[in-house]
């Protein structure tokens, strides 16, 4: 069977154009993604970046490319401003909690990893921890210094951006948009200059500080990504991802460091720079600086399955803003429920046709996590797709064209619903198509069931068995036309955090109330 083979196209932030993608090494794609600063929980806006990156990696694997994927963990160096001002985020968090900075880093790293697991996001090939690479960063900065790109101030070693003719190219109109929001640091030659190494202030005792040629202190935030991406992926690799907020300063500074280190202005670090846009919350709860923000745990505690958030992310193109609201997340949950119900019905049809209560051999053998270490999907796709006929292959071709066109997942996602509703396809063909498409979409549709989606809110005062018993009693009262008793039961459920769904076309009788 000839697999779909639409050419891969990406919008490259460096050129501001759609470009065809060809890996430097045809045997392996090298991908670097900016990771979290682990001083607090990741909010939902942060997590959108990792749904995007996971979908990107899955698509490349689906297209038969092995992927070497690196994500960093920033546990030192990131100031409260993305430039060179404010307190160190890690030190500040440790002081507030009256804990060691190492304890803070460990706790929030583990919390972040749990979020990724709940969102069905694969681990990268390498988790790269900033504090494991301090000596590498010092050596990197020394080479830049020797090349004449730095100057020393009392506050640390700074990069002289005027030495690069194309500094800020990634940000577009750098002088007009980017520099204007960079705060002044005493002694800097140019507003855009940034710290490679920050000296500890006289009399200051930090929990994280190291001896360097420029004094006791800590690396600048921008340094770690240049150092770790080059160490694990080489001086020039294929793709660098991150949030659009990194495009104006952080990634410009990465590129400057890369060019200075290599002595080659063509070595920007990555051939393609891909940036996901913001998640917008009109309630203002998506900013850690305001002290109140929505996390994945917020959704889970409200009784919303975490994969509903993945559905929400897939419903908008990664370069577009995505609005978060109560209505939107509940609509995404409903969409997920429809898909899960549909897949469950397909399995029952197949079992009825075969006269067996067990799943088909190919489904039992299917394991999407077999490629979680970056392996391509040739074997899994062949296992699933070989029996597909013309009608099914036509849908798969449209899916391939969508995901290959700058990861246009909002066009790919509806093909799941189209497949479920396609009466021309046999149930097994439908299920095989969904299995293949879900390798990229990552919704775990072959293994989710109805019961797992009906999650109780954390603060619900009734056990699920009590809820079901009350719903059954309410149905009896409604049949007896005892509407007063029926309404009383509905009110009791509402007080317990449960919304009754009379006449729900999906057959769901209740859902958790939204209390976030």
Q: Is residue 293 in a domain? A: no
Does 200 lie in the same domain as 80? Answer: yes
Does 474 lie in the same domain as 413? Answer: no
Does 469 lie in the same domain as 375? Answer: no
Asked which of 401, 424, 451 is the last residue of a domain, the reply is: 451
Asked which of 423, 451, 479 is the last residue of a domain, the reply is: 451
Q: Is residue 135 in a domain? A: yes
User: Does residue 161 have a pLDDT over 80?
Assistant: yes
Does 247 lie in the same domain as 340? Answer: no
Q: Is residue 98 in a domain? A: yes
Q: Domain holding 259: CATH number?
A: 3.40.50.620
SS3 content of the chain, % helix, strand, coil (to 5): 45, 15, 35
Asked which of 451, 472, 497 is the last residue of a domain, the reply is: 451
Does 435 lie in the same domain as 493? Answer: no
pTM, to two decimals:
0.91
User: Does residue 168 have a pLDDT over 50?
Assistant: yes
Residue 461's pLDDT is 64
Total domain count, the chain: 3
User: Across residues 160-170, what is the average pLDDT?
Assistant: 94
Is residue 225 annotated as involved in ligand binding? yes
Question: Do 246 and 213 contact (CB within 8 A), yes or no?
Answer: no
Torsion angle of alpha carbons 37, 41, 45, 51, nearest 10°?
80
pLDDT tens digit sequence for 314-352: 999 999 999 999 999 999 999 999 999 999 999 999 999
Does 385 lie in the same domain as 257? Answer: no
Work out the mean pLDDT of the chain and round it to a whole number. 89
Is residue 254 annotated as involved in ligand binding? yes
Window from 127-141, 359-373, 377-391 with minimum mean pLDDT: 359-373
Q: Domain holding 409: CATH number?
A: 1.20.120.1910
User: Does residue 178 have a pLDDT over 50?
Assistant: no
Residue 205's pLDDT is 79
pLDDT tens digit sequence for 464-483: 667 778 888 888 888 899 98
pLDDT tens digit sequence for 107-154: 999 999 999 999 999 999 999 999 999 999 999 999 999 999 999 999
User: Across residues 252-265, what is the average pLDDT?
Assistant: 98
Residue 373's pLDDT is 55
Q: Is residue 126 in a domain? A: yes
H or E element at residue 53:
helix 44-62
| Pairwise pLDDT comparison (380 vs 59), residue with the higher score | 59
Is residue 34 annotated as involved in ligand binding? yes
Does 474 lie in the same domain as 439? Answer: no
CA 481, 483, 486 angle in degrees (round to 5)? Answer: 110
Question: Do 429 and 415 contact (CB within 8 A), yes or no?
Answer: no
Q: Is residue 515 in a domain? A: no
Q: What is the rounded distance in angstroms from the CA atom of residue 190 to the CA atom of residue 169?
A: 17
User: Does residue 491 have a pLDDT over 70?
Assistant: yes
Domain span including residue 471: 463-510
Local confidence band at 495 (pLDDT 50, 70, 90 cut-offs): confident
Residue 293 φ/ψ, nearest 5 degrees: -150, 160
Q: Is residue 313 in a domain? A: no
Residue 499's pLDDT is 81
User: Across residues 54-65, what is the average pLDDT?
Assistant: 95
Q: Please name which of 97, 100, 81 lies closest in space to residue 40, comparing C-alpha atoms.
A: 97
Is residue 250 annotated as involved in ligand binding? yes
Does 415 lie in the same domain as 473? Answer: no
Residue 25's pLDDT is 96
Does 482 lie in the same domain as 447? Answer: no
Residue 407's pLDDT is 98
Residue 387's pLDDT is 94
Beta bridge partners of 10: 19
Does 110 lie in the same domain as 189? Answer: yes
Q: Is residue 456 in a domain? A: no
Q: What is the rounded distance in angstroms from the CA atom of residue 50 to the CA atom of residue 58?
A: 12
Does 238 lie in the same domain as 104? Answer: yes
Does 148 lie in the same domain as 79? Answer: yes
Q: What is the rounded distance in angstroms from the CA atom of residue 72 to the CA atom of residue 229?
A: 9
Percent of the chain with pLDDT over 70: 88
């Amino acid at each position: 069977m000839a697999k779909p083979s639409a050419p891969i196209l990406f919008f490259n932030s460096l050129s501001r154009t759609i470009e065809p993608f060809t890996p430097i090494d045809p045997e392996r794609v090298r991908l670097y993604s900016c990771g979290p600063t682990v001083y607090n929980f990741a909010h939902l806006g942060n997590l959108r970046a990792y749904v995007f990156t996971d979908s990107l990696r899955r698509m490349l694997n689906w297209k038969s490319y092995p992927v070497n994927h690196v994500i960093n963990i920033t546990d030192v160096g990131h100031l409260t401003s993305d430039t060179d001002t404010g307190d160190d985020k890690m030190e500040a968090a440790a002081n507030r909690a009256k804990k060691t900075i190492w304890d803070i880093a460990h706790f929030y790293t583990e919390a972040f990893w749990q979020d990724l697991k709940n969102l069905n996001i694969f681990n990268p090939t390498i988790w790269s921890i900033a504090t494991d690479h301090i000596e590498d960063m010092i050596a990197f900065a020394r080479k830049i210094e020797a090349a004449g790109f730095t100057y020393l101030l009392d506050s640390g070693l700074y990069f002289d951006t005027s030495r690069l003719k194309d500094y800020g190219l990634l940000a577009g109109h750098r002088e007009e948009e980017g520099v204007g929001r960079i705060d002044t640091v005493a002694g800097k030659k140019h507003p855009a200059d940034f710290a490679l190494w920050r000296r500890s202030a006289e009399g200051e005792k930090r929990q994280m500080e190291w001896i360097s040629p420029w004094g006791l202190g800590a690396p600048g935030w921008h340094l770690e990504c240049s150092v770790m991406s080059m160490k694990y992926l080489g001086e020039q690799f294929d793709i660098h991802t991150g949030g659009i907020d990194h495009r104006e300063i952080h990634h410009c500074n990465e590129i400057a460091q890369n060019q200075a280190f290599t002595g080659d202005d063509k070595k920007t670090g990555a051939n393609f720079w891909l940036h996901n846009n913001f998640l917008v919350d009109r309630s203002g709860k998506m900013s850690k600086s305001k002290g109140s923000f929505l996390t994945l745990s917020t959704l889970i505690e409200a009784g919303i399955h975490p994969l509903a958030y993945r559905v929400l992310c897939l419903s908008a193109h990664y370069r577009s803003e995505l609005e978060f609201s109560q209505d939107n997340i509940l609509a995404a949950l409903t969409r997920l429920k429809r898909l899960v119900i549909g897949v469950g019905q397909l399995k029952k049809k197949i079992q009825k046709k075969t006269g067996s209560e067990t799943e088909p051999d190919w489904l039992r053998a299917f394991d999407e996590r077999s490629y979680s270490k970056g392996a391509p999907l040739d074997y899994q796709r062949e296992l699933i797709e070989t029996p597909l006929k013309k009608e099914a292959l036509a849908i798969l071709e449209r899916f391939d064209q969508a995901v290959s066109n700058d990861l246009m997942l909002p066009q790919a996602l509806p093909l799941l619903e189209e497949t479920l509703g396609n009466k021309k396809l046999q149930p097994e063909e439908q299920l095989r198509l969904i299995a293949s498409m879900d390798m990229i979409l990552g919704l775990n549709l072959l293994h989710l069931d109805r019961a797992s989606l009906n999650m109780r809110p954390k603060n619900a005062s009734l056990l699920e068995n009590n809820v079901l018993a009350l719903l059954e009693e309410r149905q009896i009262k409604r049949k007896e036309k005892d509407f007063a008793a029926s309404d009383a039961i509905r009110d009791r459920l509402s007080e317990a955090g449960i919304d009754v769904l009379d006449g729900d076309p999906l057959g769901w009788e209740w859902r958790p109330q939204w209390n976030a």
